[in-house]
Amino acid sequence: MTNAAVQYRVQDRVATIRIDDGKRNALSPQVLREIYQALDRAQSDRAIVIMTGRETVFSAGFDLHVLKRGGVTALRMLGAGYALTVRVMAYPYPVIAACNGHSLAMGVFLMLSADYVIGSRGDFKIAANEVAIGMTMPRVAAAMLRHRLNPAAFQRAVTLSKYFDVESARSAGFFDELVDPADLIPRAEACADEFKKLDPRAHAASKRRIRSALIRKIRFSIPLDLLDAVLIGLRGARPR
C-alpha cells in the first residue's frame, strides 16, 4: 500500500496494527479505511490484535481539516469512525490497545473499544475534549466512555472535558495498566501470548453476550449523531 499511514505485521497469530501518519495520527478518511482493511486482514489471519500509535501519540482524533470543510466527506468520516468502535468491540479475537502517548476525542473512543488497554507512562494527556471545543458530546462517544470509566470520572470526562494525566487516567478506567515506554510493546505481546490460551469460540461468544446491548445502542446512535452534525453545520452556515 503506497503512503500507508497504517502498518500491519503478523507473527505467530498476533497482528500489530500501527497508526503512523507522521504527525498527530489524525483519523482521516484514508487512515480509517486502512484500519478497517487491517482489521479485516487480521481476522482472516485469525489473529489477536495489538493496536498502537506512533511515538508519543496514539491518536488525536478525527481529522479537523476534513471536519472544517464539512460536506459528505466529513459525514462519511464521522460515520466510519463511530462504526469503528463496533468493529473493534465485536472483533472475534482479543484486541489489545497499546497507548504510547496522547489520545484525544475519537482516538480515546477507539482505544476504549479494545478488550485490554495498556498505557505508557509519560507526560501525556487523555481527554474527550468535545465540550471544550464547543461540541455536544456525541451519543456514541458518551456510550464508549460510560463503557469503561468509573461514574465520577465519566461525569468529569463528558461535562468538563477533563484532561487526565496517565496516572489519573489509570484510576479513571481508561487504562487497565501502566508500564514504562520501553516496556509497552513487550507487555502487549506478553498479553497476546497469554490471551492465545483462551478458547476462541468462548471468547467471541462471551464478548457478543455482554456487549450486544451496547453495540445495538451505538448502531442506533450513529445516524442520530450524524444528523446532529448536519444540523449544526447548517446552523453554522446561516448568516448572523
Give me the residues paired with residue 15 across strands.
10, 49
pLDDT at 236: 47
* pLDDT for res 98: 98
Taking CA atoms, 60 is separated from 23, 153, 234, in Å, by 9, 20, 26
CATH class of the domain defined by 6-182? alpha beta
Predicted pLDDT of residue 119: 98
Return the pLDDT at 1. 44
Q: How confident is the model at residue 235 (pLDDT cuts 50, 70, 90)?
A: low
Facing residues of 57 across strands? 54, 102
Q: Which of 25, 42, 219 is nearest to 106 (CA)?
A: 25
Pairing verdict, β 6-11 and 14-19: antiparallel
Report the Cα 11 to chain-centroid distance in Å.
23
Residue keyed to cell 481476522: 43
**How many C-beta neighbours within 10 Å does residue 166 have?**
19
* Cell digits of residue 26: 489524525
The DSSP-derived string for 81-103 is HHHHHHHHHT-SS-EEEEE-EEE
Whether the Cβ atoms of residue 92 and residue 225 lie closer than 8 Å to each other: no
C-alpha to C-alpha distance for 25 and 31, rounded to whole angstroms: 8
pTM, entire model: 0.94
pLDDT tier, 19 (very low <50, low <70, confident <90, very high otherwise): very high
Q: Which pLDDT score, from 0 to 100, does residue 239 have? A: 35
Percent above pLDDT 90 for the chain:
91
Is residue 104 within 8 Å of 59, Cβ to Cβ? yes
234 CB contacts (<8 Å, ≥6 apart)? none
Q: What is the pLDDT of residues 40-83, one digit of tens each?
A: 999 999 999 999 999 899 999 999 999 989 899 999 999 999 99
pLDDT band at 163 (very low <50, low <70, confident <90, very high): very high
What percentage of the chain reaches a pLDDT higher than 70?
96
pLDDT tens sequence across 214-232:
999 999 999 999 999 998 8
Average pLDDT along the chain: 94
